[in-house]
Amino acid sequence: MSTASFSAPSRPSLGKRLLANGFVRTLLGILAVLVPMSVALGLSEIVPKPYRLGWPFLLAAAAIVAGYRFYVRKIERREVTELALPGARAELLNGLGIGALLMLACSVPLLAGGVYTYTGLAHWSAVLKPLPEQVFVAFMEEILFRAVLFRLLEKAWGTSIALAVSSLVFAAAHLPSEHISTVGVLATVAASAALSAGYIATRRLWVPIGMHFAWNYLFDAVLSIPVSGHAARGWIQVTASGPEWLSGGAYGIEGSVITIAAWGGAAIVLLLAARRKGQWLPRP
C-alpha cells in the first residue's frame, strides 16, 4: 500500500485578502473616482482663467470614467458592463426623459400656483454655460454613489440595506449647503432612492446619469431655479415666493415638498419594475 502525501491549500497573500475585502474595495473605488477628478481639475488651474471655459469639467468627467474603469478591471477583474456603450443611447434617452418629466411635474404646479413667477429672459447663451458642469456632476455623483457606494454595499448587504444606507450618505453629502432644510434632506433621500432604482432596474448607469443630468440642467440652465442650494444662472428668469416648504427657499426646488412627492413616486415605480425583473438581491 502506497502512502499519498497531502499538502494544505496555500493561504492567499495579505494583498489578495485585502483586495477581496468589501471595505477596502469601496475605499479604492472612491479613490479611483476622486483622485483622477482632482488631478484633472488641478491641472486646469494652470491654464489662465479666460481659457478655462467648460472644458475642465468635461476633462474631469472623462478622468472619472477612466479611473472607475481602471479600478473595475484591475481590482474587480471584470468588464465594466455598467458603462458599456451598446444600448447606452436608448437608456440615456430614457433617463433624460424621466428627469425631464420629473422637472415638469415639480415646476408646472409651482408656476401655475404663483409660487414661481416669470420675470424675464436672460441671453440665450445662458443655456450653454452650465452644460459642461452638469455633465460632470451627473457622471461624478452617479459613478461615486451608485457604481461604487451602492453597488458594493449591495454586494455585501443586499439591495434593501444598500438602498437605505447609500441614500442617507447621499443626503449627508448635501448637508454642507447652508440653505438645506429638513424638507431638502428628505427630498434628497427620495432622489437618491429613485436614482439607485434606475440603476437596479437596468444594472447600468445610463438611466440614472440621464435622470440626474436632465433634472439639474433644466433647472439650472433653462428655468433658473436653484438646485441643492447652488445659485441658478439660466435662461428663463424666475423668482420664488410663498412658504419655504413649498418654494424650497434658497435651497431651490429640492427644498420643496413637491420634489419629495415626485422623486418618491419615481422611486416606487422604478423599484417595483426592478422587483418584477428579478433584480432585487437578498442579503448574502
| pLDDT for res 8 | 52
| pLDDT for res 1 | 45
Measured CA to CA, the distance from residue 106 to residue 154 in angstroms comes to 30
Domain boundaries, the chain: 14-79, 87-276
What is the model's pTM?
0.92
| pLDDT for res 219 | 95
Would you give the end-to-end CA distance of the chain in angstroms? 45
Cβ atoms of residues 224 and 122 within 8 Å = yes
Smallest CA-to-CA distance from 204 within 102, 100, 79 is with 79
| pLDDT for res 2 | 47
Measured CA to CA, the distance from residue 205 to residue 148 in angstroms comes to 11
pLDDT averaged over consecutive 10-residue blocks of the chain (284 residues)? 52 70 87 96 88 90 98 96 97 98 96 92 91 97 97 94 97 91 96 98 97 96 89 88 91 95 97 94 88
Cβ atoms of residues 213 and 205 within 8 Å = no
Q: Is 242 left (phi over 0), alpha (psi -120 to 50) or beta?
A: left
